[in-house]
Amino acid sequence: MRRAATSGQRGDTMASRLKRRSRGSPAKPRPPKVPNPVAVTLVESPEPRSDAFAVVGIGASAGGLEAFTRLLKALPGDTGMAFVLIQHLDPKHPSLLSEILSRASALPVTSATDDMAVEPNHVYVMPENADMEIDQGILRLARREGDKGHHLPIDGFLKSLARDQRGRAIGVILSGTASDGVVGLRAIKAEGGITFAQAEQSAKFGSMPHSAIAAGVVDLVLPPEEIATELGRIARHPYVRSHDAIPEAPVDQHGDALSAIFKALHASTGVDFAEYKQSTIQRRIRRRMVVHRMDRLEDYADYLKLKPGEVQVLYDDILINVTGFFRDPGAFEALRSSVFPEFLKQDSARGSLRIWVPGCATGEEAYSIAIALLEFLGDRAVGVPIQIFATDIDETAIETARSGVYRDSIAADLTPDRLRRFFIKVERGYQVTKSVRDMCVFAKQNVTRDPPFSRLDLISCRNVLIYLGPVLQRLVMPIFHYALKSTGFLLLGTAETVGAFSDLFEAVDRKHRIYARKLTAGRLGVEFAPSESTRAGIEVAGGRAEAAPGMQDVHREADRIALTRYAPPGVLVNDEMEILQFRGQTGKYLEPAPGQASLNLMKMAKEGLALELRAALHRVKKGGVSVRVDRLQVRRDGRRETVSLEVAPLRLRNGTQRFYLVTFEESARVAPAGARHRGARQQGEGAATEESERIEIKNELASTKEYLQSIIEEQEATNEELRSANEEILSSNEELQSTNEELETSKEELQSTNEELTTVNEELHNRNVELSQITNDLLNVLGSVNISMVMLGPDLRIRRLTAGAEKTLGLIPGDIGRRITDVRTLLPAPDLEQLVLDSIESMSARERTVQDRDGRWFAMRVCPYRTADNRVDGAVLVLLDIDDLKRSSQELQDSRDFAAAIVDTMRGALLVLDADLRIKKANRSFYETFRVSPAETEERLVSEIGGGQWNLARLLSPLRNVVQQGTRLEDLELAIDIPEIGPNLVLINARRLERESGSPPMVLLSLWDISRRERAETAVAELSGRLLRLRDEEQRRIARELHDSTAQNLSALLMSLALVDRVAGSLTSEARKALSDSIVLAEQCSSEIRDIASLLHPPLLDEVGLASALQWYAEFFTRRTGIRVDLEISPELGRLAPDAETMMFRIVQECLTNVQRHSGSPTATVRISRDPTAAMLEIADQGRGMPAQGDGSPGEKASRGVGIAGMTERARQFGGTLEVVSSDAGTLVRAVLPVAEHES
């Protein structure tokens, strides 16, 4: 109040003085400060070549040959595109894919080689045993590494194609199994390319197309022929033909259309893309235009109005991300070496570490930072709370991040140790462990509009700024500076730098884009993009919308005017004497130096100031106190002016940088030298003319001196008043500025705190919902299970009990909260308290058997109660009614005695088993035959005796059927190694022994030694198997010789004959006819030799598998014999062991040969099915049938001929069976082969 009154009394005098001064020296207006239009420097990718063309990557697996052929046949020959085919191939067998496809395509088809440049209108096929990528239009091949997990060649190539071709990359997924190609298509789509998938109903194997479609990374789903047509259309589209892959017209040309698109996006999603990077946004828009066959932006804007669903598709397309765990591993190593150690040196190690990941997408980046931090902290992580705030504008991506569930393909980005420590295997892939998920809080947030988090140690904002326009970049970078602690760090993407904000951040690791927060001289104004409620519309001009000035600009302009008029001029400099800010009019004292532009204070100081200024700065740096220097002479406009300067250090609480304020003050002026000389000359002339005038002049001079002295005194008083008023104004201004900054700080902190509370509250709500669901599940489980269960606290007080416990123990709900030992129960257990305490202390279960007052038996089990963090907090008491089991044991003892009496009367080797196949009794003959003792036999399972050699499925499974179904075990042969004797073959028979009073049945086993007979049969079988193998090997050798030698010789002969036919023009007609007949004969011989070689051993059997080989043989057999063969092969067949597939193929060959020779049937049917344990082959005809065994009744098994005996022996060699059933209606041959042991 006192200051205000003083200022008011002196207002007239001050105003008049300022008015007169303004007339004498009018101030030059300062030009307004224009903000730098580029806030963040982007490291752009190199421009594509001017002669670039689209490259199409086509991937397929099973069924791919047919799909490739259909696509290439329908493909136009002048698309101007290059096509690269990636097929899953066997690394051990040479591929003939390029030769086969060259017959189906009008384009040149070439097997790719290393360093081969792709050319338009050419097709390239990836060779076998290789991995392939593309770099600058050149194919790079590397030898395929050993099997390290699932091999994904399609993903590998398509990802490299996306990096290399960007908007010109086109990906196509055709028939195949599994999910190879999904990641590659996502990468292509993110770079602006087009993606296709084959329609599932048109593919032989639809798993690969289905996976890509389900992942949402496919633009068009079509059959191969329509894909080819669409590629021809896309080849002519401006989006692909343009040299820069972003065929943008000037924005003014499409301003209304773009505005309509932005408004539609804003209305549907709440996100304003007008300020985002326009080249990226328009690339996404034009990509959608390609998909919808549109060339004009106006047409697409109209389409959005007609199809509102397309707005969401465009929004998802704009936000598509290609992220992964530990993307750019070098950046994480840099964090580990440069940033994380700083956390431990600072206060963050004693408090909580706070990290913000804006633009987190589906959460991989946030989880990667959490995992890296846990690995770095090791055992210290227990004492350091970690909070990671991860935000994004995509709600769908946030939900994925919260769940923490990712595809199996993430295993390629993670080390086995990380996968084991921080992930658990679930049905849909892998899930991040709960401990890591609890560290991360995910929320929807728009970084340009919503308040940020505060007091952060690290911000990881990788590959977000590249999508923002300059206006949004200028908003975001000060926000990051505000949100970080003074010791915080900023991590950007490899294509981003801080650019014009180097005054806010200094580089820690330029290569990996890690920056540290700088201290600033003043508080930065933090602004946000206009909200939906305040933004009236979106104006599109020059590719971006102009942002309205914020209130911070108004405040800064008001401060500038006040400081310019009332404060002494000066500059703010740093420790290197670089000028950071000009304060007031400093042109009298500073001027730019000639030569290269510089803001160094020493270079800009005028003559007469530099030496004293340097000395003053040195004294301030050394002493840390202000230094003032007076009476410095500076020449200006022919005059010498006296100047004072003062250097004051700025005292900041945090940081290592130092700043200084240098101010200048002007002293009394000295009149120009020329004026003094002119005055003396005039006085001399006046003295010569009139003496009287000298006296008058002296009087006037004295009067003038007196008046001048009064003026000087008055001026000094005025100057003092002005200085006092100026100080008061400065003081008031500083107080107002300080108050304003405090209010602004409080507002921003409240906004940040509110945002954090909202985020935490949202996460808490989600966890409360999960907790409520878990509670409901627990209550339903406890209420529905018929088990007596009591949950006890560490003090033995009852927490919860089930209805069964109320009935068994006689408890009531009112007993909850009472000690279990204080309640009188129906089940006497005097040592119950000790039993519970022992279980809690030992952290293990305790069991005992008790009997209630009615004589019923119960099994009492006490288990420790474990919390989610594996802490023991009480016990769980479970009671199981075992009364029936207890009483059955007595009856079982009676049965055992009965069986023992029977067994002891028999002279042969006998065993008596219970229903669990446990040996209850063995006679003396058994012990003598197998050289074992009763202690080694009785009360042991059959599978446990003899060192486990009785533990065979073909013995135990029939025995279980004897017990459960009452079947008989007939003549089962089993090899048993008898001590001191060696292997003996035993013939086993079994019968079920029924028992009275509902007791479980028992099994009687008889064992007979048939070793001598079996040795003879084994020798015959081994000889037969050897003969069959030799036969197959000889057939394979002959087929190879025919193919590699005879067929090649005939091919050479054909070429020679064809050459003779072309060059021999003067042959006689008889000679030419003989030559033509020779060519026909040679071609016929070549064809027959190929057929013979394929019949002996078809190559398809080794290269593709049984199904393809049978398909070829059926077609060949039909052509040769006229008998139609119908194939019914189960899709679940897959591949079997090579020998097993050969065996089944030979059986089919033999059967179809018999059909041709003996049955007279016009058709034959071949069926192959498979279950988890066996593969079944059936060959049926409708012919005359075969002679039967026995009485010859229909359905009898047919008599064995040589062919059937050979087939039976083949099946037996693999542990399978073969039977032939024949009747007047036809013959059925059925072979069953176990696949568990032979499956590849």
Q: Report the catalytic residues.
A: 61, 88, 180
The Cα diameter of the chain in Å comes to 176
Q: How are beta strands 138-143 and 116-117 bridged, if at all?
A: antiparallel
Measure the CA–CA gap between 1049 and 888, rounded to whole angstroms: 82
Order of all β-strands in the sheet with 130-135: 116-117, 138-143, 130-135
Residue 106, classed as helix, strand or coil, is coil
Amino acid at 688: A
Q: Who's near 281: CB < 8 A, 6+ residues apart?
A: 273, 318
Closest CA to 1195 of 1227, 1165, 1163, 1170: 1227
Cβ–Cβ under 8 Å, residues 791 and 800:
yes
Give the Å distances, CA to CA, from 166 to 90, 246, 399, 1009, 1015.
30, 10, 29, 76, 71
Q: Which residue intervals of 346-465 are DSSP H helices?
A: 364-377, 395-403, 416-422, 434-439
Tokens, residue 285? 């828009």
Amino acid at 863: C
Tokens, residue 879? 């009671």
Point out which residues pair with 583 in neighbouring strands.
Answer: 570
Tokens, residue 213? 């479609």
Tokens, residue 193? 């390319």
Rounded (10°) angle between helices 1011-1041 and 1069-1096: 150
Measure the CA–CA gap between 473 and 287, rounded to whole angstroms: 25
Q: Who's near 345: CB < 8 A, 6+ residues apart?
A: none
Measure the CA–CA gap between 1137 and 741, rounded to whole angstroms: 79
Measure the CA–CA gap between 75 and 58, rounded to whole angstroms: 13
Q: How many CB atoms lie within 10 A of CB 253?
A: 11
Measure the CA–CA gap between 233 and 231, rounded to whole angstroms: 5
- Cα 1159 to chain centroid distance, Å, stands at 61
Q: Which residue intervals of 865-952 are DSSP H helices?
A: 883-904, 924-930
Counted residue by residue, the chain has a size of 1240
Phi and psi at residue 64, to the nearest 5°? -70, -30
Query: Which residue has tokens 């089990």?
Result: 861
Cβ–Cβ under 8 Å, residues 667 and 716:
no
DSSP assignments along 59-104, one per residue: EE-TTHHHHHHHHHHHS-TT---EEEEEE---TTS---HHHHHHTT
Amino acid at 504: L
Closest CA to 808 of 880, 874, 875: 880
Measure the CA–CA gap between 251 and 618, rounded to whole angstroms: 56
